[in-house]
Structure 1
Amino acid sequence: MHPKEKPTMAPSDIDLSRPSAARVYDYYLGGAHNFAVDREMAQQAIAMWPDLPLIMQANRAFLRRVVRHCVSAGVRQFLDLGSGIPTAGNVHEVARAAAADARVVYVDTDPVAVAYSRTILGQDPQTTVVQADLRHPDQLLTRPEVTSLLDWNQPVAVMMVAVLHFVPDDDTPAKIITDYRNALAPGSFLVMSHATHEGRPQQADEHRDLYRRTPTPMTMRSRAEVTAFFDGFDLVDPGVVYLPLWRPESLDEVDEHPERFTGLAAVGRKP
């Protein structure tokens, strides 16, 4: 796509001079919902860090595994924060393959991601997409689009997959998570994957520098910092681990050097 072209369903005031984290992620996954500026940034990142597409694919594989886990635990409601563009293998497809009555609310701040999501989801009565900022749960959780689909008296899986590292420390991410936790019924889940500088610190620094060009700079965190986000939740085994190590379904998913994935994955259950 030429950098000055826009999808017909997207708002006309999209800024194509700056890449979007959601659209760059779509490119890593092999999607078609990205612009030249996004592909340029992704290609620069891959040149510095050739494993990046593999890391993003491992993140998506974790999402699929954890959605199935939540469904098997009885969850039928999902709130996907920072959802990006729901290309193949996203939450509603995976959940409904296991439970036809699963309901999903997708949330993102990127207007292009939201526009594409609405087009892809169409008139599906069991899904909706909301343009909102996850940093304001008090506003998000009471919106009619959310409350009409999700019942807060029943368990909900709150998905923070590859998104919280775009929330800086100044925005008090721990307080944000606490606000979500307080709204959840017992038996709900917090699902998280998070970029970390552990394992590949030099490449992590270069990656953070690249994301400073976007509206969503990256804050990588340690295992201890990610673990602290699960205060008030019971961590599900195996705890906070590198992406391929969270309940792999086959040995093919386990790399002999899992630290090269530089992404941590964890799931907590509200008692």
Structure 2
Amino acid sequence: MAPVIAVTGLGVRFRRNRGGRRSFKDLFSNRQRRMRPDDFWALRQVTFDVQPGESIGVVGRNGQGKSTLLKLVAGVMLPDEGSVRVADGVAPLIEITGGFVDDLTVRDNVYLTAGLHGMSRSQIDERFGSIIDFAEIGDFVDTPYKHLSSGMKVRIAFSVISQLEEPIILVDEVLAVGDRGFREKCYRRIEELLEGGRTLFFVSHNERDLRRFCTRGLYLDKGGLVLDGPIDDVLELYNRDYGS
């Protein structure tokens, strides 16, 4: 079976000063492609495949390339070397409140965001009630988005993205905000999507969540892939290296 995500020799280089990534001009300059003293590899020579329906958990300390890898799979960042091939569409539960417009109402933001992710007007019409009901913010549907609390913003954003029919779900600990009850509701929604055959790519520091959702793990350290294996083995090695 062909993988839905194929990562080969992946490398991403950042610059420690001047804002991180090299400039757009640098990308087309042979002189700038050489390593500079202030460059470092956030990811280097990372290779793995993901099969349809797999649940992958990505672990590692802060600053080891986890979120960068997720952004590469999402297509919002380009590698400096190697390749990332994603065979199907993705539902990105990463920085999910990004793209929402403060001065628009919740209603208008739902139509805007869902539309940008490929849903038709008729599909949004059909699912609008479910989106608002899941987010539990029916009294605020015509309120400007900027007046919502941070927790309410995460609720409506998750509710919209979880309605997408894309076969790959990307999650980057976006549910750290919000009350425990709603977080559990979101987790049950993710489980429903997985039962429907979706593929999960999940970045988290929460060992309990990783064991709950994932069967396979990727352990990143110093920009490299240390271990690709069963999630229990990956967590055992990570905890042995850095403590639980």
TM normalised by structure 1 equals: 0.32
Whose Rg is larger? 2
TM normalised by structure 2 equals: 0.35
> Which fold has the larger relative contact order, with Cα–Cα distance below 8 Å and residues 6 or more apart in sequence?
2
The structure with more strand, counted as a fraction of residues: 2
